[in-house]
Structure formats: C-alpha cells, structure tokens
Amino acid sequence: MAYRGKNAVVTGGAGGIGLQVARQLLSNGAAVAIIDLQDNLEEFVKLRAAHPTQSVMIIKMDVANRKGIEATYEEIVKTFGSIDIVVNVAGIFNDKDVQRTLLVNLGGIMNSTLSALQYMNKENGGNGGLIVNMSSVVGLDPMFIIPVYGATKAGIINFTRCLGNDQFYQRSGIKFVTVCPGATMTDMFTNFTEKIIFPETSDETYKILDRLNKQSATDVARCILSVLDKEKNGAVYVIEGKRVFPLELKQQWTGKEHA
C-alpha cells in the first residue's frame, strides 16, 4: 500500500500501540487523525514537529460514545475530505468494571467501524479502503484470569470477520482485517491484579504473566503496517515475537445450506 496522500484514523492513538501506529503511518506519508479520550500533549507536539507538512488531527473523544464518534468522523471528513484507512486500537483492561470494558473494547470498535463505513463506502461516494481492528490472542485462546477482557476480544474477531465478506467488499470497496497481538508491553495492564475478578488467583496470575514472551508497542505497530500492506480481506493475524502469522480459521457450523 502507498500511504502518501492517504488519510488515516487511529483510535487509542494517545499512547501505547495506537501512538506507535500513528507514528508509523505519518512516517510513511499519510495524514493521521487520532481519536482518544486521553491527553498526551508532549507526544502530540513531537508528532507535529516531526511531520510539519502533514495533517495531524487530535480529537478527544470516548469511543464508547456512539453519537460522539459519529460527530468525530464527520469532523474528520470535513477536514481531510475522505478516509482511506482506519486502525481501531482503543481499549481498556478492567475485568471488575464489566460494563465499561464491554462499551469501550467491543462497543468502541463497533462505533468507530460503523461510523467510518458511512464515509468510506463507495456506494456513499467514498473511496473504499481498509479497516484494521485490534483484538488479542486471548480472543482466540481462553485465559481464565481475564474472562471479560477475553470475551470482548473474541467479539471483535467475529464482528470484523462478518464484515470481511467478499460480497460486501464488491459493493463497498472496504476490506476488513483483524490483528491479535500477543503479550505487549504497554501501560494497559498496570496494577493488573487489582483489576481481575478473581483476586485469589493473584499469585498464579503473576506466574502466568512472567512466563509470557513480551513484545514492544513499536514492534506491534510495525507488524500492523505490514498487515495493511497485505490488504487481505477477512484475514486474521496473530502478532507474536515481532512477526505476523496468518490464521486459517475453519468453518465449524456445517448446518448452513449451500449457496
């Protein structure tokens, strides 16, 4: 994919993986709009200073706020003219706050994706493009210590695969991809054991976390750009050890009639 002249949106772009994705996109020539509830003024100043000839929009908005996200996309299109790429990264970890975790992790992905569709869809006069939604390896393989977080990540995979349908692509011109990073060093899991719903498993939890192979947010962001380059509709990728691994997810339900 040639990024120069393309307009990209990154949710959760104030820090962690989202910030590194925004940085990578800008380095490759794209204009970038960052949507995040958090402020990171120091990093935003650095981004603009490093890319003075490119447009960098910063919009403070909660991805769980559906109407707010719809208005945010309207604002982005008014400024950029069009949207070509969306990378949805925004997410939280707090299994004790079930409702908020559902609203941000799964609801936020849905809000951003469906709002972007309105402007990217060729049937509505858009250019088509590519939407990448970030899930996690715990959305593929259950991990008993984080069932709420894991459930939201599993939902993201199914939601994105449903949209990554070739018939829909023929109409809309939009491709959908899911990425599932393994353990990544970010601030999301600070005070981890205070946010799990089974505090009695704290000792076991630390043992599990210590055994995980960890990668940096920059490693994951670079892998996400390589996924963008592939442009494979409906694909699901694991990002582990600074590498990208495509998954072959087989159909389990055989009760559907043949077309």
Catalytically annotated residue among 73, 149, 206, 237: 149
Closest to 6 (Cα-Cα) out of 229, 259, 198: 229
Find residue 86's DSSP bridge partners.
9, 131
Contact, 33 vs 8, CB < 8 A? yes
Closest to 154 (Cα-Cα) out of 113, 213, 102, 203: 102
What distances in angstroms separate CA 253 from CA 36, 75, 212, 247, one per listed residue?
38, 42, 32, 18
Contact, 38 vs 15, CB < 8 A? yes
Residue 237 annotated to the active site? no
Catalytic positions: 149
